[in-house]
Amino acid sequence: MIPLAQLVPRSTQRAERIRVLIVDDSLVIRHLIMEALGADPAIEIVGAEANGALALARIPELKPHVVTLDIEMPVMNGLETLRQIRKLHPRLRTIMFSTLTKRGAGVTLEALASGADDYVAKAANAGSLDKSLVSLRSDLIPKIKQFFATPEPARLPRLETVNPPASAKSTPHAKAQVVVIGVSTGGPQALGELIPRLPATFALPVVIVQHMPPMFTRLLAERLDSSSPLKVVEAQEGMELRPGLVLVARGDHHLRFRRTGAAVATTLDQGEPENSCRPSVDVMFRSAAQVYGASAFAVMLTGMGSDGLKGTYLLKNAGARSLVQDRETSVVWGMPGAVAEAGLADQVLPLNEIPAALVRLSTE
């Protein structure tokens, strides 16, 4: 596992365009990506190569900030190219192109765990050229820019109120009963370092919202389960939370909580996306504020955007505590940065210190 500290963003100067190297064995796809990115004045395409070996040979000359990598290529495939980039150019940003298939999801998760910064899913049926260009521009361009954009100071919009449990109102520092985690870009690697370091005796349930499509979340849960002392599964409808169980929200489904007596179970729905996300961290955090109140503990890990900011505000308003990953170990300090800059974080910690913090929390 490559430490995230080695993957700190290399910023561009304000007047400098983001230099992108495209690597794909399909001439059609290379031209499609070039056309999609070429329309953005902040991006400069410095090269396009048909395989990883050619790309590696040209990186010293081209000096890209970002490399887009297809996974399946002759001579040297995307995974091997990624491993070589991480050895030779550890600060170079990499975005993988993935197919929405079981094999594609599995290989993409392996790439993300091996140090890829993000991925773009190829549509199974791209349709017309115009639709393909629109899809690429709306998905790939923000993912390229996320590594170099200077985030605006977090501003909390007007928020709806929630009614936390009566017990939470009088106990602002209640004993924690659940850990809720929000994460996006860089999440599989961050979770791969965090969850396996929680001991088998960990006394709290853990619920994770990771921005990923269906199938990816199931494979992510299976991957974490294979390396963790705790049981990790993809959440299903009506699953009861219990100590030591880790639930990963199902792709394309919001996750909420429902209390029946002393027991709390999950509910899943396909309500409207929030912050363009389903599952959404805000949805899960808001539900945690309603059901758990001060006895919830929120953790915000690496990710683009500000999903979870409003939910953290509601949790804090209910008396809950929160922790965020620091800038230095985050692939993108968007989601954790928004919470920290809004003054909602009780602690800001590097990733390698978060497991111990959670263990201490579970014994308080």
Let me know if residue 156 belongs to a domain. no
pTM for the whole thing? 0.89
Let me know if residue 155 belongs to a domain. no
| 222 & 332 share domain | yes
In this prediction, residue 152 carries a pLDDT of 58
Let me know if residue 150 belongs to a domain. no
Mean pLDDT of 24-31: 92
CATH number at residue 94: 3.40.50.2300
In this prediction, residue 150 carries a pLDDT of 60
Tokens of 233: 């599964």
In this prediction, residue 161 carries a pLDDT of 56
In this prediction, residue 12 carries a pLDDT of 38
| 39 & 118 share domain | yes
| 85 & 221 share domain | no
| 45 & 173 share domain | no
Confidence bin at 165 (pLDDT 50/70/90): low
Structure-model confidence comparison of residues 292 and 130, the more confident one? 292
The Cα 90–Cα 41 span in angstroms is: 26
In this prediction, residue 170 carries a pLDDT of 47
Q: 159-168, 190-199, 297-306: lowest mean pLDDT where?
A: 159-168
Whole-number mean pLDDT of the chain?
Answer: 89
Phi then psi for residue 285, to 5 deg, are -65, -40
**Res 167 pLDDT > 90:** no
| 135 & 252 share domain | no
**Res 60 pLDDT > 60:** yes
**Res 238 pLDDT > 90:** yes
Let me know if residue 308 belongs to a domain. yes
In this prediction, residue 105 carries a pLDDT of 86
Q: Smallest Cα–Cα separation from 213: which of 147, 122, 292?
A: 122
The Cα 266–Cα 31 span in angstroms is: 45
Confidence bin at 280 (pLDDT 50/70/90): very high
The Cα 25–Cα 50 span in angstroms is: 4
In this prediction, residue 121 carries a pLDDT of 80
Total of domains in the chain: 2
In this prediction, residue 155 carries a pLDDT of 60
In this prediction, residue 131 carries a pLDDT of 78
Q: What angle do CA 221, 222, 224 make, to 5 degrees?
A: 65
Let me know if residue 153 belongs to a domain. no
| 233 & 89 share domain | no
The Cα 20–Cα 57 span in angstroms is: 15
Let me know if residue 76 belongs to a domain. yes
Residues 89-109: tens digit of each pLDDT: 999 999 999 876 778 889 999
In this prediction, residue 157 carries a pLDDT of 55
Let me know if residue 20 belongs to a domain. yes
Residues 64-79: tens digit of each pLDDT: 999 999 998 999 999 9
Tokens of 319: 């008396």
Residues labelled catalytic:
184, 211, 307
Residues 106-156: tens digit of each pLDDT: 999 999 988 999 999 875 545 567 777 888 889 999 999 999 876 555 566
Let me know if residue 306 belongs to a domain. yes
Beta bridge partners of 348: 324
In this prediction, residue 98 carries a pLDDT of 84
Mean pLDDT of 6-25: 67
The domain of 293 spans 166-363
| 223 & 75 share domain | no
Q: What angle do CA 267, 269, 273 make, to 5 degrees?
A: 130
In this prediction, residue 5 carries a pLDDT of 35
The Cα 53–Cα 38 span in angstroms is: 24
The Cα 204–Cα 363 span in angstroms is: 9
| 230 & 297 share domain | yes
| 196 & 126 share domain | no
| 178 & 286 share domain | yes
Residues 317-334: tens digit of each pLDDT: 999 999 999 999 999 999
| 117 & 188 share domain | no
Confidence bin at 290 (pLDDT 50/70/90): very high
In this prediction, residue 3 carries a pLDDT of 34
How far the first Cα of the chain sits from its last, in Å, is 31
| 242 & 342 share domain | yes
**Res 2 pLDDT > 90:** no
Confidence bin at 13 (pLDDT 50/70/90): very low
